[in-house]
Amino acid sequence: MSVDNTSSNRAADYDAGVRVVLPYYDCISDEIIRFVRAYDPAPRAWLDTGCGTGFLATKILESFAPLRLVLADPSEGMLRIATEKTASHEVDYRNRDTSSLPFGDGSFDVITAVQSHHYMDADGRARATRRCFDMLREGGLFITTENTRPPDAETTGIMREYWKQHQIRSGKTPEQAEKHMNRFDSEYFPITTEQHLKLYADVGFRVRDVFWKSYIQVGFYCVK
């Protein structure tokens, strides 16, 4: 079965399959909404890059009334589903990856990138992060969640087994779960939490920290 995006599920199956893969998937979006509300209760312009099927976008529209919401994803299949979910709202859709988005410096109050940058190599991740930095206004908020790399081989093995057992409990066979574990360093390319924070500092964010963690999924926030 060919996959029409970088995740392990086809776009049409993503919403059903992602909860088997990611522990607390719904919590990721819920915590992002809560964090943004605490930092900026009324963002006027929001970019969700790597928007996937629009799950976070629906929560943005339910929770805020941004004058401008842009949803961007390089997968046509993902963006098509996101478009269907948000069709009753004024939304700007862009079938592009983060680095090629055409918006000017300071265009957005909030930029989110959920479980998307870890599919990039080091150069691609750096370019995407710099592009997010440039598109934010001064004081703007960047939030990203990523699969991260544990600090050494032993902890990686422990966390892989922990995550694999979640997938088996959620319905995967042991063979399917092990196949998903083998995507690590072959289909997505995680870096450590410390490397993330260094990248955000190098790009120029004056504030950067962790606000959420589950298994190897980590939520980072940065302020320009």
Helix or strand (DSSP H, E) at 70: strand 68-72
Q: What is the pLDDT of residue 10?
A: 54
200 and 192 Cβ atoms separated by less than 8 Å: no
For the chain, the residue count is 224
Q: What is the pLDDT of residue 1?
A: 36
Q: What is the pLDDT of residue 2?
A: 40
Mean pLDDT (10-residue bins), the chain, 224 residues: 46 75 92 98 97 94 94 94 94 95 97 93 95 98 96 96 96 95 92 97 98 97 98
Taking alpha carbons only, the member of 42, 87, 38, 90 closest to residue 69 is 90
What SS3 class is residue 142? Answer: strand
User: What pTM was computed for the model?
Assistant: 0.92
Class of domain 11-150+188-223: alpha beta
Q: What is the pLDDT of residue 4?
A: 47
CA 84/CA 130 separation, integer angstroms: 30
